[in-house]
């Protein structure tokens, strides 16, 4: 067994400790500056006399203030993530958050005035070169100007939401997380939580998966009256909000915040749907490999193979830097900085949060990467993923604060791309068994992101429309939509049993962020399509890609991508991404053929 890594990050470039006097100083200065900002600009933004110079100075001051005030919160959350069991760190984080809110309330007027400023005035100002760097920020903020209520109305909505929509959201969470899921197997009954019952659906033993599926269904069904009521309430609450805010269709608010035209979203989701045969093709082979007559809802996540090779952390570093370097030296150099300067926390230890993330908040500070590295091949991919985010953030640091973070549909661009580069390098070195495992895992990951989210988006559309046209929906009516939409992605390769029809009842995304799901399909397919472009153009591609990462959040997805001559309005572009997925499936089929031959050889 290879030794586990002891690598921890170094946060001293932020602050020395929780008691560092600079933290208190930053917060006190921040409050004073926020008050001064409000005194200086209140009433001057939403004004017929607004000048380009004033608007420029206001955004610049806003950025600089926000940038400083964010630092203690960045530090507190990083500190907390490596030891969530330390009450001092928890209390520190909470205190910093409260102080940050205290500061931010003084700045709310700025966004409101920017939204309400007269269009005739703003459209003239936006042509002034002094505002060039803030054009995207101002325009994207103002996308919502038609959908904004008066200040007293907004305040009312905000206050009532705590006992309205937010209360229902919380009731949903509390209900689902407190359902005792009773799993019966081998004559025993085990009571488990929702994440645990979902994990059991991935158990290699079919009886356990079947029991888990039964238990999930029973737990949800016995709470279906409450959960359906919450769904109906929140879907209707959104319909009322949408009417008051003058949105003409349920998805509109989400499209606006993603800065995507409805036609583009429709194109992406539609192209994914047109390729559902890829899903069926893979699951037919999966059925054969599992040796089953028929696949059903509890076989969908059955593991096919598992990788066995161990990869020590130092080796992961080599693999990642080499695969990034084969693509571009710039990318490899940016990634190497994370290892050389201790920007990564990789060690698994008590109290540390699970999972992985890359954190970056202001362009004047470097990003940090957080992983739990356990020497599995999967951990190499995860580290490659987070370093992809890291390189993206690192390259965007040339932008100022309001242009630093990208929009949601592009958030997973560099991470998924980085993961693809690492995946190619891992399969290149793997033995036949590990190769099978890597491919199967990759395919199922891609399916979960592209096709499942597309099907879920269709479910949400149907649900919102049904509620708007047909009034309150029963559990069975919603279940019927769910079953139809999810079944459609499998064609006849998987037969979802009747039990599966209740499985929409636990999906928090539908409740908390309506129509969020399509961003996943969009992001993943975009990367696949870019990967296809890279394979075609080879060395001509990386400079364009890097330019795109350097742009950070300074442009809308459409403008950013057309900059690197990609037209996201073209169906062929998206189909190119699906063809990459097809290629991965074909490769898996070939390797499976080799694997069967090898098994036969060994036997004879």
* 567 touches 263 (CB < 8 A): no
Least Cα distance to 110 among 215, 35, 9 occurs for 35
Q: Where is 392: in which H helix or E strand?
A: helix 377-396
The b/e string for 490-510 (b: 16+ C-beta within 10 A; e otherwise) is: beebbebeebbbbbbbbbeeb
- Which residue's CB comes closest to Zn ion? 415
Q: Shortest gap between Cβ of 445 and Zn ion (angstroms)?
A: 12
Instruction: Give the nearer residue to Zn ion in terms of CB position, either 400 or 415.
Output: 415
Q: Where are the beta strands (DSSP E) in 482-571?
A: none
Q: Which residue stretches of 291-353 are H helix?
A: 313-327, 329-340
Instruction: Give the nearer residue to Zn ion in terms of CB position, either 383 or 580.
Output: 383
Instruction: Give the nearer residue to Zn ion in terms of CB position, either 114 or 361.
Output: 361
DSSP state of 296: B
Instruction: Give the nearer residue to Zn ion in terms of CB position, either 66 or 415.
Output: 415
Q: Which two tokens stand for residue 548?
A: 């795109």
* 236 touches 463 (CB < 8 A): no
Least Cα distance to 343 among 321, 316, 363, 368 occurs for 368
Instruction: Give the nearer residue to Zn ion in terms of CB position, either 403 or 415.
Output: 415
Q: Shortest gap between Cβ of 395 and Zn ion (angstroms)?
A: 16
Q: Shortest gap between Cβ of 411 and Zn ion (angstroms)?
A: 7
Least Cα distance to 531 among 411, 423, 387 occurs for 423
What's the gap between Cα 64 and its chain centre? 27
Q: Shortest gap between Cβ of 245 and Zn ion (angstroms)?
A: 31
Q: Shortest gap between Cβ of 531 and Zn ion (angstroms)?
A: 16
Apex CA 536: angle with CA 535 and CA 539, to 5°?
75
Instruction: Give the nearer residue to Zn ion in terms of CB position, either 416 or 461.
Output: 416
Least Cα distance to 62 among 169, 138, 163 occurs for 138
Residue 185, helix vs strand vs coil: strand
Instruction: Give the nearer residue to Zn ion in terms of CB position, either 278 or 410.
Output: 410
Radius of gyration, alpha carbons of the chain:
26
Q: Shortest gap between Cβ of 167 and Zn ion (angstroms)?
A: 31
Least Cα distance to 383 among 391, 393, 373 occurs for 373
Q: Shortest gap between Cβ of 236 and Zn ion (angstroms)?
A: 33
What are the beta bridge partners of residue 495? 296
Q: Which residues bind Zn ion (CB under 5 A)?
A: 415
Instruction: Give the nearer residue to Zn ion in terms of CB position, either 179 or 316.
Output: 316
Q: Shortest gap between Cβ of 197 and Zn ion (angstroms)?
A: 25
CA-to-CA distance for 437 and 430, rounded, in angstroms? 10
Q: Shortest gap between Cβ of 426 and Zn ion (angstroms)?
A: 18
Instruction: Give the nearer residue to Zn ion in terms of CB position, either 131 or 519.
Output: 519
């Amino acid at each position: 067994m290879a030794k586990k890594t002891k690598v921890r990050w170094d946060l001293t470039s932020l602050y020395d400790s929780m008691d560092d006097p600079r933290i208190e100083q930053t917060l006190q200065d921040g409050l004073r500056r926020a008050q001064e900002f409000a005194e200086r600009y209140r009433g001057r933004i939403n004004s017929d006399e607004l000048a380009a110079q004033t608007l420029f100075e206001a955004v610049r001051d806003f950025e600089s203030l926000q940038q400083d005030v964010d630092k203690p919160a960045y530090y507190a959350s990083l500190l907390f993530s490596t030891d969530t069991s330390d009450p001092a760190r928890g209390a520190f984080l909470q205190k910093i958050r409260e102080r940050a809110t205290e500061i931010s309330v003084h700045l709310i007027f700025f966004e409101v005035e920017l939204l309400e400023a007269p269009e005739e005035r703003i459209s003239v100002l936006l042509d002034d070169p002094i505002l060039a760097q803030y054009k995207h920020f101002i325009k994207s903020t103002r996308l919502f100007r038609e959908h904004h209520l008066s200040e007293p109305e907004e305040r009312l909505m905000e206050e009532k939401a705590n006992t309205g929509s937010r209360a229902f959201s919380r009731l949903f969470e509390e209900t689902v997380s407190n359902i005792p899921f009773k799993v019966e197997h081998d004559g025993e009954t085990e009571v488990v939580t929702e994440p645990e019952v979902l994990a059991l659906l991935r158990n290699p033993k079919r009886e356990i998966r079947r029991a888990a599926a039964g238990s999930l269904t029973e737990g949800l069904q016995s709470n279906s009256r409450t959960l359906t009521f919450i769904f109906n309430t929140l879907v209707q609450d959104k319909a009322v909000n949408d009417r008051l805010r003058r949105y003409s269709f349920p998805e509109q608010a989400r499209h606006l915040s993603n800065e995507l035209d409805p036609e583009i979203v429709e194109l992406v989701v539609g192209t994914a749907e047109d390729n559902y045969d890829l899903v069926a093709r893979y699951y037919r082979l999966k059925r054969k490999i599992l040796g089953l007559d028929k696949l059903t809802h509890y076989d969908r996540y059955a593991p096919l193979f598992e990788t066995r090779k161990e990869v020590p952390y130092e080796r992961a570093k080599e693999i990642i830097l080499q695969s990034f370097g084969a693509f571009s030296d710039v990318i490899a150099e940016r990634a190497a900085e994370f290892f050389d300067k201790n920007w990564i926390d990789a060690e698994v230890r008590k109290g540390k949060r699970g999972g992985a993330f890359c954190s970056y908040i202001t362009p004047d500070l470097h990003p940090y990467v957080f992983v739990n590295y356990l020497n599995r091949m999967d951990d190499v991919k995860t580290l490659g993923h987070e370093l992809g985010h890291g390189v993206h953030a690192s390259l965007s640091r040339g932008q100022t604060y309001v242009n630093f973070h990208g929009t949601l549909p592009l958030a997973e661009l560099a991470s998924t791309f980085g993961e693809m580069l690492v995946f190619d390098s891992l399969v290149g070195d793997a033995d036949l068994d590990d190769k099978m495992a890597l491919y199967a895992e990759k395919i199922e990951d891609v399916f979960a992101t592209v096709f499942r989210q597309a099907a879920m988006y269709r479910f949400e559309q149907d649900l919102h429309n049904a509620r708007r046209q047909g009034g309150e929906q029963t559990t069975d009516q919603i279940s019927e939509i769910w079953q139809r939409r999810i079944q459609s992605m499998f064609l006849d390769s998987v037969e979802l049993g009747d039990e599966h029809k209740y499985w929409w009842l636990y999906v928090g995304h539908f409740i908390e962020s309506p129509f969020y799901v399509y961003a996943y399909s969009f992001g993943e397919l975009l990367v696949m399509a870019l990967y296809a472009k890279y394979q075609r153009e080879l060395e001509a591609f990386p400079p364009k890609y890097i330019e795109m990462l350097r742009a950070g959040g300074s442009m809308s997805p459409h403008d950013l991508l057309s900059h690197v001559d990609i037209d996201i309005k073209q169906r062929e572009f998206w189909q190119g991404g699906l063809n990459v997925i097809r290629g991965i499936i074909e490769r898996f089929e070939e390797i499976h053929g080799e694997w069967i031959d090898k098994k036969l050889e060994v036997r004879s």
